[in-house]
Structure 1
Amino acid sequence: MTGIRAAGDTPVREARRGALLTLVRPVARTVPWRALVAGGALGLLAAAVPRLSGGEVTPWAGVNALRAAALCCALGAAFLLDDPARQTTAAVPVRRVLRHALRCALVLPPAAAWWTAAVLLVPEEARPPAGDVTVEAATALALALAGAAFAVRRLGADRPGQGVAASLLVTGVLAPLLTPADWALFTVPGDPRWADGHGHWRLLLCAALLAAAVCCTEPARRRTLRTLRSPSRT
């Protein structure tokens, strides 16, 4: 029975793999590059402010410039799952999690290059530890993707970006004011609480990634219906 199942599953897997490869070009065309580029441009401008201001740059200015840059990037990434044709692509024999992963895979390499440039724009004497500040940026990005994935899964939104970006902006502004002091999320390099605070950032990152992964899956009912309608299952 195991051999029969494996043999029966092979055409299905091949069909899904072929459909996924076929989707690369259409998905690349539907990625909201304008929103991503706009967020990236604003982020680079924010990261460059300390260098452009002239004079001595403090660690406080350096780390907050990069936090502002990360927030701008996350605001652009909130539009990543916007897809006016979502109802059409939902009929293909490729799971939603794979379609979303394909979008992320197209964006992650330029995003990594962008973040490297943003970090290097901050003067070296004021630059925070790259690893720790990257965790902060990754958390903001993961929260944006989790919010968009949640809106797609629970609300069936085709364009969740605007609402998610607005929520993320409000959260980014209020978080430094409302975060408990013992979490130390918004400390500066040299503060004794810096290491503990970034332990909390890592916890938030793991939680955001888990939430995004869960929200990227399809509801059981919709998954069952698509399985029955898929040509590869007939």
Structure 2
Amino acid sequence: MPDVSGDTSRDTSRGTGTGAWRALLRPVVRTLPWRAIGVAGGLGLLFAAAPRLMGDDATGGPALNALRMSAVAFALGAAFLLDDPARHTTAAVPTRRAVRHTLRLALVIPVAALWWTGTLLLVPAGVRPPVGGITLEAAATLALALAGAAFAVRRSDSTRPGQAVAGALFTTAVLASVLWPERWALFVAPGDEKWAAAHDRWTVLLCGALAVWAACGAEPVRRRIGGGLGFRS
């Protein structure tokens, strides 16, 4: 008789994994901060619509600033992504934190992409800044908010760190726009010779934020050692 135990094991493993993802999907969708993201996204769309309301008086400078404010607004809403009142309950399930965080992110990223596309289209084409550059800035801003949320979850027991993370992000954005050293300028106009160098810095910020997100998604050592003995997650 042929030995099919290996194939059966693999099939069972696949079925169990798929079942776990499906079981996890519904509660994650319910606990996502859709209201915060919706309010922040709506505010961002209002910012982006401002140049269009100016009509023929619209110029590239206000349009660029409007898109930057839109990006910050959406990021403030995304700072609540990892808020989870049931955090200390779900910490006991076998699904790893990295998987739970990734699932939340995967559900929100398509929404963010559609929102950003609509935001760009609201700005009149004649005054719209280079799409690639401003999209990089928006992606880095969003990644910084997500990294802050992941860091807060990693370093505290709070089930709702979003408010503190959003406050820190807003304060940082304001201070950076005023106090950031000119030689490392981030907020540069498209016609400025520093535009390319500034976006190299935005790329570094994006990569750094993604690295922090990934690092903070790992299970704490104390939980791996302590197992189910009540160590902090």
The alignment's TM-score, normalised by the length of structure 2, stands at: 0.90
Q: Secondary structure at the match of 2:57?
A: coil
User: Is the contact made by 2:79 and 2:145 (CA closer than 8 Å) also made in structure 1?
Assistant: yes
Point out where structure 2 has 5 or more consecutive residues left out of the alignment: 1-7
Distance 1:12 1:217, change over 3 A: farther
2:12 aligned with 1:21 = no
What's the CA shift for 1:16? 4.7
Q: Which moved more, 1:203-212 or 1:16-25?
A: 16-25
Q: Secondary structure at the match of 1:209?
A: helix
Aligned to 1:75: 76
| Cα displacement string for residues 159-190 of structure 1 (whole angstroms, at most 9, x for unaligned residues) | 01000001111111111112111122101111
Point out where structure 1 has 5 or more consecutive residues left out of the alignment: 1-6, 230-234
User: Is the contact made by 1:146 and 1:209 (CA closer than 8 Å) also made in structure 2?
Assistant: yes
What's the CA shift for 1:223? 2.7
2:128 aligned with 1:130 = no
What's the CA shift for 1:55? 2.9
Q: Secondary structure at the match of 2:56?
A: coil
Aligned to 2:64: 63
Aligned to 2:4: none
Number of residues of Structure 1 aligned to a counterpart in Structure 2: 226
Q: Secondary structure at the match of 1:162?
A: helix
Letter in 2 for 1:105: A
Aligned to 1:207: 208
User: Is the contact made by 1:57 and 1:125 (CA closer than 8 Å) also made in structure 2?
Assistant: no
Q: Distance in 2 between matches of 1:149 and 1:14?
A: 30
Distance 1:90 1:220, change over 3 A: same
Aligned to 2:5: none
Q: Distance in 2 between matches of 1:155 and 1:11?
A: 37
Distance 1:161 1:141, change over 3 A: same
The correspondence of residues 1-234 of structure 1 with structure 2, limited to 5 A, is 15-226=16-227
Q: Distance in 2 between matches of 1:129 and 1:227?
A: 51
